[in-house]
Amino acid sequence: MYKYEKLLQSKMSEENFGKVAALKNPKIFEFIGHFAEHCNPASIYVCNDSEKDVQYVREQALAKGEEQQLAHSKQTIHWDGYGDQARDKVNTKFLVYKENLKKMAGLNSVEYEEGLAEIMQISKNIMAGKDVVVQFFSEGPTESPFTIPCIQFTDSWYVAHSEFILYRSAYNHFLNMKEEEKDDFFRFIHSAGELDEYGSTVNLDKRRIYMDTQNNIVYSMNNQYAGNSIGLKKHSMRLAINKSGKEGWLCEHMFIMAAVDKKKNRKTYFCGAYPSACGKTSTAMIPGEQIVGDDIAYFRNLDGEFRAVNVEAGMFGIIKDVNAKDDPVIFENLMKNQEVIFSNVLRGPDNKPYWLGMGVEPPKEGRNHFGEWKEGIKDAKGNEVGVAHGNARYTMRLDYLDNIDKEGFEAKDGVKVEGILYGGRDSDITVPVEESPSWRDGILLKAATLESETTSATLGAEGVRKSDPMANMDFVSYPLGEYTMNNIKFGEGVKDTPKIFSNNYFMRGPDGNFMTSKLAKKVWLHWADGRIHGEYSAYDTPTGKIPKYDDLKVLFKEHLNEDFSKEDYNYLFTFRCTKWIEKLERTKVYYKKMDPNAPQEIFDYWDAAIAKISKAKDQFGDLILPGAFKK
């Protein structure tokens, strides 16, 4: 008999208890039993992979008022509380053993015993009187080399519903695990806590997300916003980054997509990392290409090949500015009667959803994340409340998309990656596309130096530049220098190392306006595709290789039916020496701040790069036109 057997039988139906017992896994019994005793829910429902259980979760999310049905019968809407609208970075911390605290000094951490005592005090009896649900999922395809099994214990049926859309159900995977595998899975315990009359979390001052990467468990209390509550999203990503660092693979904040060349009957897989608002989703969704995943990728070396899988089965996307013109594929799907959860948007009197930048005139009143809303209403601080929150979201299955690459999405061994894109946002440094000379150069010059520039209301004024190496700094769960070196080692350890390219879609001209349209990214992608297949020659720069004008002129005409002037080409692809030196110096400062023990070889590399650029500046001038630089 397991320790918590009688307790679980008292809180579960015979059918639900049977589902847990069938797994014959003491660690699962211990996890569910411990929190059944500690959090004290009224009942526990256990899900397997059946449609019956998925439907039960959907029904309970509606019955408990966590979601409301919209005009389209398969669409629902959920609202988080007014103060629970984004990831809580301050109270998201790593539980770290005392001996490792110094090593983790650059990350938001709390001493293990102290943090554990706090979260256990907060979670004591937090589920009293509530019905909870236990689910089994897989990060990545089930029963594959990439699979990470996960178990979630939550009192939020909205969270449970979201996870059934976003992840692959994996009860059968747990059922078929070999004896030696039964200890290795991620655990997530979540509670929305006490709720108000709107069904929103009350005790936001006790909102905590504590991650124990040493034991692969995450505690998330007093929150509902999916970025804080959905264990398998960014919490799991932090556990996976730590696990991958120990085991020699990679977990990256990247999309996976295929560049499609119909003339050559060719498909080339790219992965890409871009900080928030730098073009990640729009690149993954370029018209005419195919998508495998939009957010998180696992990389493994399988028989010497660089292989990637999409960890997720759905999209938790920012809905602001999704409209028929800019995001036609997503917008079309949001208009259909299919399973979608809208969060923190307006429900109009017509029972339809409305959001910011929708391209449709919204109603003057309705219900949103603020409560009952009407145009011009202000919050307690006197701020006018908009139609919807700027971070409002949609949760939707990926396989609804016409442009999904089904073969790549379902492949248990993933897809072979041939190109990696790293894109930031800056108005005056980085060219639109540049190929790295090698993998190591790519990680240290393209990935580690990624920055996102805050835009200014005054055209031409320089914004604040925020460093975000690999577009992953919110989720890196062990020291940055070690993580950077692991990226280098992994890429250099495969047979056909992918080419690395940098992107920047936000170069501004002398008049302060953007130099190219939003769709120009299709041209930069297909130049990169051509380089991978040896179809274009290139000019050297001090940091890599850039396109030649004649090739881009043809690509602009072919893909966008646009003319591309030599004048614009020269401006966009000029190498700016002083600006690049300043960028590298900022990166050095950031790395020393985030990881005082980062390997010296990283800084030696950047110093050598600065010396190389300084020499080029002396020889060719501060602004080097395309083709003018000679090695």
The amino acid at residue 571 is Y
CB atoms < 10 A from the CB of 190, how many?
Answer: 29
Torsion on CA atoms 348, 230, 476, 294, rounded to nearest 10: -60
Quote the tokens at residue 47.
């899900």
Residue 272 confidence (pLDDT) above 90: yes
Question: Is the same domain home to 194 and 50?
Answer: yes
pLDDT at 455 over 60: no
Indicate whether 454 pLDDT > 60: yes
- Cα torsion 197, 198, 199, 202 to 10°: value is -70
Q: Do 526 and 478 fall into the same domain?
A: yes
Give the C-alpha separation, 36 to 629, whole Å: 67
Is residue 504 pLDDT above 70, yes or no? Answer: yes
* Residue 430 and residue 324 share a domain: no
- The answer to whether residue 603 is domain-embedded is no
Same domain as 299, residue 366: no
Contact status, residue 249 vs residue 483, Cβ threshold 8 Å: no
Could you report the per-residue pLDDT of 543-573, keeping only the tens digit for each? 999 999 999 999 999 999 999 999 999 999 9
Question: Are 301 and 432 members of one domain?
Answer: yes
- pLDDT at residue 1 in the model: 64
pLDDT tops 80 at residue 414: yes
- Of 215, 247, 279, the position where a domain reaches its end is 247
| Residue at 630 is within a domain | no
Would residue 423 be called left, alpha or beta, if left means φ above 0 and alpha means ψ between -120 and 50 degrees?
A: beta
For residues 421 and 277, membership in a common domain is answered with: yes
Percent of the chain topping pLDDT 70? 99
Tokens 């800056």 sit on residue:
426
| Distance between CA atoms of residues 146 and 168, nearest Å | 13
**Side-chain half-sphere exposure of 259, counting CA atoms within 13 A:** 26
Q: Is the pLDDT of residue 459 over 60?
A: no
In which element (H, E) is residue 268 found? strand 266-273
Q: Point out the domain boundary residue: 198, 216, 247.
A: 247
For residues 433 and 423, give the distance between their C-alpha atoms in angstroms, rounded to a whole number. 9
Question: Which CATH number goes with the domain that contains 191?
Answer: 3.40.449.10
Give the pLDDT of residue 36.
Answer: 98
Q: Which residues on neighbouring strands pair with residue 109, listed in sequence order?
A: 94
Beta-bridge partner residues of 221: 191, 208
What pLDDT does residue 276 have? 87
Write down the pLDDT at residue 631.
Answer: 84
Residue 272 domain flag: yes
**Interhelix angle 480-492/577-594, nearest 10 degrees:** 120
Kindly state the tokens that stand for 609.
């790069």
Are 496 and 527 part of one and the same domain?
yes
Please check whether residues 304 and 322 belong to one and the same domain.
no
CATH of the domain at 340: 2.170.8.10
Handedness of CA 266, 268, 269, 271 (dihedral sign): negative
**Could you report the per-residue pLDDT of 127-182, keeping only the tens digit for each?**
999 999 999 999 999 999 999 999 999 999 999 999 999 999 999 999 999 999 99
Asked if residue 493 belongs to a domain, the reply is yes
Quote the CA–CA distance of 54 and 135 in Å, as a whole number. Answer: 10
- Please give the structure tokens belonging to residue 619: 């020889």
Return the DSSP state at 304. T
The pLDDT of residue 461 is above 80: no
What would the mean pLDDT of 112-140 be, rounded to a whole number? Answer: 98
Same domain for 484 and 543, yes or no, is: yes
Q: Helix and strand tally (H, E) in the chain?
A: 19, 33
Provide the residue range defining the domain that includes 458: 252-314+408-574
Arithmetic mean of pLDDT, 571-597: 97
Read off the pLDDT of each residue in 465-470 and give the average, rounded to a whole number: 95
Catalytic residue among 39, 150, 278, 577: 278
Asked if residues 429 and 573 have their Cβ atoms less than 8 Å apart, the reply is no
Residue type, 595: D
- Shared domain for 363 and 379, answered yes or no, is yes
Contacts of 53 (CB under 8 A, 6+ apart): 47
Banded pLDDT at 8 (limits 50, 70, 90): very high
Domain count, the chain: 3
**Measured CA distances, 13 to 4, 9, 10, 34, 449 (Å):** 15, 7, 8, 18, 54
For residue 433, being part of any structural domain is answered with: yes
Give the ranges where 65-185 is alpha helix by DSSP (H).
112-123, 157-166, 171-175
* Residue 102 dihedral angles phi and psi, to the nearest 5°: -65, -40
Place of tokens 């440094």: 429
Query: In this predicted structure, what is the pLDDT of residue 83?
Result: 92
Confidence bin at 460 (pLDDT 50/70/90): very low
pLDDT band of 37, cuts 50, 70, 90:
very high
Q: Residue 60 corresponds to which amino acid?
A: Q
Nearest by Cα to 211 from 242, 254, 167, 182: 242
Please tell me whether residues 389 and 531 are part of one structural domain: no
Does residue 63 lie in a domain region? yes
In a domain, 299, yes or no: yes
416 Cβ neighbours under 8 A, 6+ residues apart:
269, 305, 306, 307, 496
Which residues on neighbouring strands pair with residue 45, listed in sequence order?
A: 133
Residue 607 and residue 243: Cα distance in Å, rounded? Answer: 31
What mean pLDDT is reported for the chain?
95
Name the pLDDT band for 198 (thresholds 50, 70, 90).
confident
- In a domain, residue 594? The reply is no
In this prediction, residues 84-100 reach a mean pLDDT of: 95
Looking at 574, 589, 622, which one is the last position of a domain? 574
pLDDT band at 261 (very low <50, low <70, confident <90, very high): very high
Task: Reply yes or no on whether 278 is catalytic.
Answer: yes
> Would the pLDDT of 458 be above 60?
no
pLDDT at 152: 98
**pLDDT for 462 beyond 80:** no
Q: Is 103 exposed, middle or buried (0-12, 13-18, 19+ CB in 10 A)?
A: middle
SS3 category, 47? coil
Whether 525 and 451 map to the same domain: the answer is yes
Instruction: Report the C-alpha gap between 594 and 522 in whole angstroms.
Output: 35
CATH at residue 498: 3.90.228.20
